[in-house]
Amino acid sequence: MIIHPQIQGCVARNCHPIGCRAAVEQQIAEIRAAGPFNGPRRVLILGASSGFGLASRIALTFGAGANTIGVSFERGPSDQGIGSAGWYNNIWFKQAAEREGYQAINLIGDAFSDAMRQQAIATIRQLWGEVDLVIYSLASGQRLLADGRRVRSVLKATGQPFIGWGLSLEHNALVEQTLPLASPEEIHDTVTVMGGEDWQQWMQALQDADCLAPGVQTVAYSYIGPASTYPLYRDGTIGYAKEHLHGTAEAINLQLAELGGHAWVSVCKALVTKASAYIPVLPVYLGLLMGVMKERGVHEGCIEQMRRLFADKMYGAEGVIADGNRLIRMDDHELDPAIQAAVSALWPKVTPENFTSMGDFAGLRRDFMQLNGFELPGVDYEAPVNIDALGELEP
């Protein structure tokens, strides 16, 4: 079958498997070109199939020689459709890593579940005995709790509703979007899904199973952003969840003290991921930011950001570079006052008629499409894809 993109709002409803391979290979090439760096050799990545998690896996394997176990909740090809981009990312990464002699294990299932924790523990025991680094990169709209309750997160405001221009990738147009006011229960549920509770449960289970090496590190990914985005992010329900995640780092750090281990939160810059594209209003800020940062030569995509995190800020000659709150500030370029002044000057001028001439909305759209295997150079998108053959591949 010939596969063309199906976009609804800011969500991709399909992917191009061959394009996903090209995207993985492109990131691997970027890491090879940047050169090797020191890093961990046995890594567990929770949320490994896309965005920051996938970029972390590629950077650590092809930059630092790491063997990895990746946990993700993805779907393969079936009567229901082609399957998810993450499913194919897992396959292509595994093939590339194993060609170079690295171990790359893909565990497919619900990372929030105790069953998946036990499966990961069994795999670690079988392969290595211990891990040197645990990466927590989960983003989900819901979480099934141990007692059977299903809790859902929401993207809403707190304090007062927020109205602004949002970006429809489906129509390549600006549309007015509203973040309604969240109830206390919705705030609580969003923290339950997207906060640090599950991260701490993973670390406790791994420690109880003696699967953490002496000096083990763990890092979770977060975002804060500039004051101009606070009403839609930091002061919203997701901001409450991220604050809980930040606080959990201190608790996990105390928990790891007997191993000489440490817990950190990497505060990343705003980037195009499946999660960020879905947040109301934020993509408009992101499109402007990308244009300004590219003009000044300091833009980073997911793969460049993750390489800098590990090579320079976690495993470099100076050791971990973090602030007093256990935050590794990868948003240092984004929050440069000159960068923010330029973005702030543009944002009030954006209209549905002129937005394509401001910032880099074409680059934002291209990045989003490439997350799903589309618009990659060298891929013949008019060539038929043999889905039956792809269905025989194991993740």
Q: Which of 88, 233, 285, 315 is catalytic?
A: 233
Six-digit token pair at 114? Answer: 């105790």
Between the CA atoms of 195, 198, 203 and 208, what dihedral angle is there, to the nearest 10 degrees? Answer: 150
Six-digit token pair at 300? Answer: 């980073």
Q: Tell me the backbone φ, ψ of residue 7, rounded to 5 degrees.
A: -115, 130
Is 233 a known active-site residue?
yes
E-assigned strand segments in 117-172: 131-136, 142-144, 150-152, 162-168
CA distance 57 to 62: 8
Q: Is 219 helix (H, G, I), strand (E, B) or coil?
A: strand
Do residues 259 and 212 touch, judged by C-beta distance below 8 A? yes
CA distance 217 to 264: 8
Q: Is 165 helix (H, G, I), strand (E, B) or coil?
A: strand
Q: What is the distance between the terminal CA atoms of the chain, rounded to a whole angstrom? A: 21
Active site residues: 233
